[in-house]
Chains A and B, each alone.
Chain A
């Protein structure tokens, strides 16, 4: 089955710096890769996702890159702000687009701290 490794487990940056979180997956059939942000006392919130037919996706200060050959994908946050402080989870799954879908397999999470 799928296995997702996430690094680092903790990350501390100064406000305004960039943050990068990396994930690797094992199942080459996985084709959907979401990133979730979880703040204290809240549920995971989807912040960006990427499908395997795309190499990069951006949304304002957040970007995700995917390398299918190496089976890894990364989250990039630029111009970090204190409100970016949270736990970030990557995940991978097989999405059959209208048929059955695989379960989301999560990485273990990265605790990001942005110091003012």
Chain B
């Protein structure tokens, strides 16, 4: 079992819906990440949080809004998504200033 827990495992939403993805880790890691993975492709970095502050935004559209309420939790708020946003969304965490990154099993998102 992975030490990074993501919910929900699957999500289907319409283009006008608002939903949120949740990620939780209890390893004491202070860096948390969101990745997007399309089928048969490697993960692509979206956001990095360090000590609950956004440190990297890889030019992600504003319809994706990350939030880090505390050192164990990471959310990704979704609004007005497009069909091309359908993908596996992965969360990862690491001790800041060090590797490795540990991944959760992701949320499979489908946009109708």
Expressed in whole angstroms, the minimum distance between the Cβ of A85 and any Cβ of chain B is 15
Which chain A residues numbered 27 to 49 have a C-beta less than 8 Å away from chain B? 32, 34, 36, 41-46, 49
A interface secondary structure, majority:
loop
> CB within 8 Å of A: which of B80-111?
90, 94, 96-106
Known: A106-B42, A109-B40. A98 touches B100 (CB 8 A): no
| Number of residues from A at the complex interface, CB < 8 A | 25
Given known A-B contacts A49-B100, A93-B99, A108 and B42 have beta carbons under 8 A apart: yes
Complex: how many Å from CA A106 to CA B42?
Answer: 6
Shortest distance between the CB of B110 and any CB in chain A (Å):
14
Partner of A107, one of B42, B102, B105: B42
Q: Taking the complex as formed, is A101 at the interface, i.e. its CB lies under 8 A from any CB of chain B?
A: yes
A108 touches B41 (CB 8 A): yes
Known: A43-B104, A96-B97, A107-B42. 14 other contacts (CB 8 A): A41-B105, A43-B2, A43-B6, A43-B90, A44-B103, A46-B101, A46-B103, A89-B43, A95-B97, A98-B98, A101-B94, A101-B98, A103-B45, A104-B45
